[in-house]
Structure 1
Amino acid sequence: MSRVKLTVHVSPDSGESSGSTVAIGDKAIKQLKIPAGSPITLRFGAFRQSVTAVGGGPADGLRLSAMLAHRMGLHTGAKLSAGYRQGSRTLAIGPLVGVLVSKVYPGSADGQLFGSITSFCRELTIAAALSGAHVFFFTPNEVNSGQTITGWSYRGGWRKSEYPVPDVVYNRLTTRKLESKSSVQHFFKEVKTRYQTTVFNERFLNKTDVFQALKQNAACLKYLPESYLFRGFDMLKSMTAKYPVVFLKPVTGSLGKGIIRISRCGNGYCCDTTMAGGVRRQTFATLNGLFKSISARLKAQRHQIQQGLQLIKIGDRPIDFRALVQRGSKGDWVITSTVARIAGNRHFVSNIARGGTIARVEETLTRSNLPSSALNTTRTQLRRAALDIAEGIEAQVGGHYAELGVDLAVDVSGKVWLLEVNSKPSKNDASPAANVKIRPSVKQTLRYARYLAGL
């Protein structure tokens, strides 16, 4: 199927007020092989309208009546990819991408309509226009079972409009509470079954579920430290007898919050807990005494118990790695970026929210205590592990995912291990809107959206 990029022109002419005629530039009519003067179907997201396509329209685009443009949520100047399907006599434009965000702040004095991800939303908007897609943003308050969604798009400023149900919904909700709302879950189900919309990254991942699922995947087994859903003191006793260090991690935690490290120290045990300002250390003469001190916390929230690893370090600061793995223009998994994360002072986790710093992989591996003989194989293994794990998630874990933050570690022998998988990698670090630099990850998201929509 041939594709072209068309610029939308909205015409107020009364002769087109019915919306039954669209005018397309002669060159595009010929390239797309559209039968001029015959009825075809115009498609944009879930929107369908029988129209007659005629030539003689704008040389660079598509002229729509004001009424038709309003129903589609389009405006003059929108640049959209277009393809004509001969079999169904359908002119498809877009794709239309809806990004589900947690909240909007319409009255914000600094213009940060979407809070800390506003720059990312602008970046995505600019990248969409360059790729021929159209993107809008909406919250759980705007989801319903109708055929339209109220959302925000950028046209010299953030503006609110009605849009058709999109081809693709990109879930950027930041809390499990919002994501589990019955209205949101009903919306996901409705648009998938009724409109064949693809919803990707539709749910948060659970640490224990991920590890249990990946145990069923032969390619992923070698990356998994011993790990279980924590069941009680006997499990703690068994794991601490087997390993000098074990970790207890909240199953639904993020940003390194509430992670507990238990290690042998002297004749007793040390218990280190991540806190906002650093690490709180407590020492106990017995394991039973340690368990009693943390049992209330373990009852309040489910935890995963995991084998501790002897990670490579720079000085006394542990290192791990974040690989951003995304689906590409052909639907396959590709690595968009990999960075090293170096733990901050007084921390044993590398999360940026806990004082960690980002660094280049090559430089970090070279500066670390990893044997130089293992450098080349470790670089290769990090990439292979990230792809294996993304493919394992696809095969073993329910839901449709298009981007994953895969956190990996390397021990002092050069072996690569999986720490966790994040289905909502942070988008808070976009470039300032005044000087937007479009990141490869944003371009990749839109390539995949176009692949899904066949555009």
Structure 2
Amino acid sequence: MAKIKLPVYLQSGSAHPEEQIAIGAGFLKKLKLPLREPVTLRFGSARREVRITQSSQASLRMSPQLAASLSISHGTKLCVSYHAASRTLHIGPLIGVLMSRVYTHAPDRPFGAMTAFCAELTEACRLHGGAAYFFTPNDIGGEASTVQGWALSEGRWVKSSFPCPNVMYNRVTSRKLENKPQVQQFMRELKTRYGSVAFNEKYLDKTEVFQALRKEKGVHAYLPESYLFKNFAMLKTMCKKYNTVFLKPITGSLGKGIIRITSQPEGGGYQCSFSSLAGVKRQHYPTLTQLFQTISGKMKQRRYQIQQGLRLMETGGRPVDFRALVQKNGEGEWAVTSVVARVAASNTFVSNLARGGTLSPVSEAVARSNLPSGVRTGVNTKLRTAALSIAKSVDATIDGHFAELGVDLAVDAAGRVWLLEVNSKPSKEDNTPSGDSKIRPSVKQVVLYSQHAWGK
């Protein structure tokens, strides 16, 4: 099945009535399109019966009325393919990005800090082929074949009605919103009724990831000892085995709620460090029993993962970890888009940017680190190899469609790579900056993968 990319131009007049579209002669031949016979034009969930005529220009021309009914803007570049068996002309992909919320009081920044990313994705579609709109859980409902959403048009964010997308990219950053019945029903409808693709359709929790990866021999070497926390006996066993252990909320993010427990030398008790939005609070306990009595209330309120503590590589006395962004490319294959080092702020043990952490190129962080010179060489390669293997294993063992994963890794003092966690909603600020390019590779990859998923 041939697929080409064409800009859509709007042209009024009797030569281009609403039910006709015009395509350049060379593309008519390549696509093997029938002339002046009825075919179905499909864009997302929308279908229109049209007749195809020949144009002298390398474009796809349609009437303003037809374009308006499909919510297609003048100049939009779309991929075009023809299915002869069903006599259907497909144009797209139409990408719908599910966002957490919209700020209606800020017309220039309707998605807050994510607005720049939305604009960047829109531009990537313009350059590489596709159309994107952005919507929230509150916009789902009513007629099942359309969605109310926002699109960037001539520098302005405009709300309109759109067909259901060919590809839905889930960027909701709240489990509560993601699990709303209307959101789950919408994703089911997309797949079953329209044959659409929804990727990164759910959050991952830490226990789910580690339990699944334990089944994959190829990634065993990257896994610190880690379990769903159950009781005091488990805490006692892990603290006896390791000088430092971590308790992490299995549904946590941004480093919130992490507890670090460190055994003090020569019977000096235990230091407990609590990570919160306000910083790190430290308390000392003479015995593990007293420590557990203090934290047991937290353990009852939410589920935690207990994990072996690691002696991380440091830069200037600050721990360093690494975020690898791994995405499916235009061929549907996993590839590492970027790896960056994240240096923790002073007096904390979490490196998240929300906690004051800073980004650094891997090579610079390694060069400034306390790693022995003999193990510095090859760290970047080892990180990329680990991230790629872990992403493939998550995709193979966990239910759900994933096309983008943030893989958080650590390097210990001996140069060994360890997995910290896998995030199915990686931050759009955590990957390599765009430099001189207007479009970051990570954003371009979303469009290329959407084209692949749509064309399957």
Please report how far the alpha carbon of residue 428 of structure 1 lies from its aligned counterpart in structure 2 after TM superposition: 5.0
Secondary structure at the aligned position of 1:304 is classed as strand
Q: 1:73 and 2:71 equivalent?
A: yes
Please report how far the alpha carbon of residue 413 of structure 1 lies from its aligned counterpart in structure 2 after TM superposition: 1.2
Residue type of the alignment partner of 1:68? L
Please report how far the alpha carbon of residue 431 of structure 1 lies from its aligned counterpart in structure 2 after TM superposition: 12
User: After the TM superposition, which of the residue ranges 424-433 and 267-276 deviates more from structure 2?
Assistant: 424-433
Conservation of the 8 A alpha-carbon contact between 2:339 and 2:431: no
Per-residue CA deviation, residues 39-62 of structure 1 (Å, 9 max, x unaligned), is 2221211222232101136x1322
Q: 1:194 and 2:193 equivalent?
A: yes
Partner residue, 1:411: 412
1: CA distance between counterparts of 2:431 and 2:325? 15
Partner residue, 1:281: 282
Partner residue, 1:142: 139
Residue type of the alignment partner of 1:92? H
2: CA distance between counterparts of 1:318 and 1:428? 20
Conservation of the 8 A alpha-carbon contact between 1:381 and 1:416: yes
2: CA distance between counterparts of 1:125 and 1:324? 20
- Of 149, 152, 159, the residue aligned with 1:151 is 149
Residue type of the alignment partner of 1:409? A
Residue type of the alignment partner of 2:102? V
2: CA distance between counterparts of 1:316 and 1:217? 34
Partner residue, 2:3: 3
Please report how far the alpha carbon of residue 264 of structure 1 lies from its aligned counterpart in structure 2 after TM superposition: 0.9
Conservation of the 8 A alpha-carbon contact between 1:116 and 1:428: no
2: CA distance between counterparts of 1:68 and 1:129? 20
Secondary structure at the aligned position of 2:217 is classed as coil
Residue type of the alignment partner of 2:403? A
User: May I ask how many residue pairs the two structures share in their alignment?
Assistant: 451
2: CA distance between counterparts of 1:234 and 1:64? 70
Partner residue, 2:80: 82
2: CA distance between counterparts of 1:436 and 1:373? 35
1: CA distance between counterparts of 2:335 and 2:437? 24
Conservation of the 8 A alpha-carbon contact between 1:123 and 1:430: no
Partner residue, 1:257: 256
1: CA distance between counterparts of 2:364 and 2:429? 25
2: CA distance between counterparts of 1:430 and 1:164? 31
Please report how far the alpha carbon of residue 232 of structure 1 lies from its aligned counterpart in structure 2 after TM superposition: 1.3
Per-residue CA deviation, residues 99-152 of structure 1 (Å, 9 max, x unaligned), is 01111112216x111111001000000010111100011111122361111111
Residue type of the alignment partner of 1:105? Y
1: CA distance between counterparts of 2:431 and 2:413? 34
Partner residue, 1:130: 127
Please report how far the alpha carbon of residue 33 of structure 1 lies from its aligned counterpart in structure 2 after TM superposition: 2.6
Please report how far the alpha carbon of residue 70 of structure 1 lies from its aligned counterpart in structure 2 after TM superposition: 2.2
Q: Among all aligned residue pairs of Structure 1 and Structure 2, give the percentage whose two residues are the same amino acid.
A: 51
Per-residue CA deviation, residues 411-442 of structure 1 (Å, 9 max, x unaligned), is 11111110000111112579999x98210000
Per-residue CA deviation, residues 195-251 of structure 1 (Å, 9 max, x unaligned), is 111000001110111111111111121111111111111111110011000000111
Conservation of the 8 A alpha-carbon contact between 2:321 and 2:409: yes
Partner residue, 1:114: 111
Secondary structure at the aligned position of 2:118 is classed as helix
Please report how far the alpha carbon of residue 366 of structure 1 lies from its aligned counterpart in structure 2 after TM superposition: 1.9
Secondary structure at the aligned position of 2:218 is classed as coil
Please report how far the alpha carbon of residue 448 of structure 1 lies from its aligned counterpart in structure 2 after TM superposition: 0.2
The within-5 A match list for 1:94-113 is 94-108=92-106, 111-113=108-110
Residue type of the alignment partner of 1:72? L
**Gaps spanning 5+ residues in structure 2: where?**
none
User: After the TM superposition, which of the residue ranges 61-70 and 279-288 deviates more from structure 2?
Assistant: 61-70
Conservation of the 8 A alpha-carbon contact between 1:123 and 1:436: no
Per-residue CA deviation, residues 134-186 of structure 1 (Å, 9 max, x unaligned), is 00111111223611111111112111222111110000001000000000000
Per-residue CA deviation, residues 65-114 of structure 1 (Å, 9 max, x unaligned), is 333222211122222121233343332211110001111112216x1111
Secondary structure at the aligned position of 1:80 is classed as strand
Partner residue, 1:383: 384
User: After the TM superposition, which of the residue ranges 66-75 and 291-300 deviates more from structure 2?
Assistant: 66-75
Partner residue, 1:291: 292
2: CA distance between counterparts of 1:223 and 1:346? 27
Residue type of the alignment partner of 2:365? T
Secondary structure at the aligned position of 1:211 is classed as helix
Please report how far the alpha carbon of residue 14 of structure 1 lies from its aligned counterpart in structure 2 after TM superposition: 6.0
1: CA distance between counterparts of 2:149 and 2:58? 27
Partner residue, 1:235: 234
Structure-1-length-normalised TM-score: 0.95
RMSD (CA atoms): 2.1
1: CA distance between counterparts of 2:378 and 2:60? 53
Please report how far the alpha carbon of residue 334 of structure 1 lies from its aligned counterpart in structure 2 after TM superposition: 0.3
Conservation of the 8 A alpha-carbon contact between 1:3 and 1:82: yes
2: CA distance between counterparts of 1:37 and 1:337? 48
Partner residue, 2:24: 25
2: CA distance between counterparts of 1:381 and 1:61? 46
Secondary structure at the aligned position of 1:323 is classed as strand
Q: Against the structure 1 CA distance between its residues 243 and 354, is the aligned structure 2 distance closer, same or farther, given a 3 Å change threshold?
A: same
Secondary structure at the aligned position of 2:347 is classed as coil
Secondary structure at the aligned position of 1:330 is classed as coil
2: CA distance between counterparts of 1:2 and 1:391? 29
Residue type of the alignment partner of 1:158? W
Conservation of the 8 A alpha-carbon contact between 1:136 and 1:153: yes
Please report how far the alpha carbon of residue 8 of structure 1 lies from its aligned counterpart in structure 2 after TM superposition: 1.9
Please report how far the alpha carbon of residue 310 of structure 1 lies from its aligned counterpart in structure 2 after TM superposition: 1.1
Secondary structure at the aligned position of 1:121 is classed as helix
Q: Against the structure 1 CA distance between its residues 436 and 119, is the aligned structure 2 distance closer, same or farther, given a 3 Å change threshold?
A: farther
Per-residue CA deviation, residues 258-303 of structure 1 (Å, 9 max, x unaligned), is 1110011142110011133432110011100111111111211111
Secondary structure at the aligned position of 1:322 is classed as strand
Please report how far the alpha carbon of residue 28 of structure 1 lies from its aligned counterpart in structure 2 after TM superposition: 2.5
Per-residue CA deviation, residues 21-45 of structure 1 (Å, 9 max, x unaligned), is 2122223223333222222221211
Residue type of the alignment partner of 2:63? S
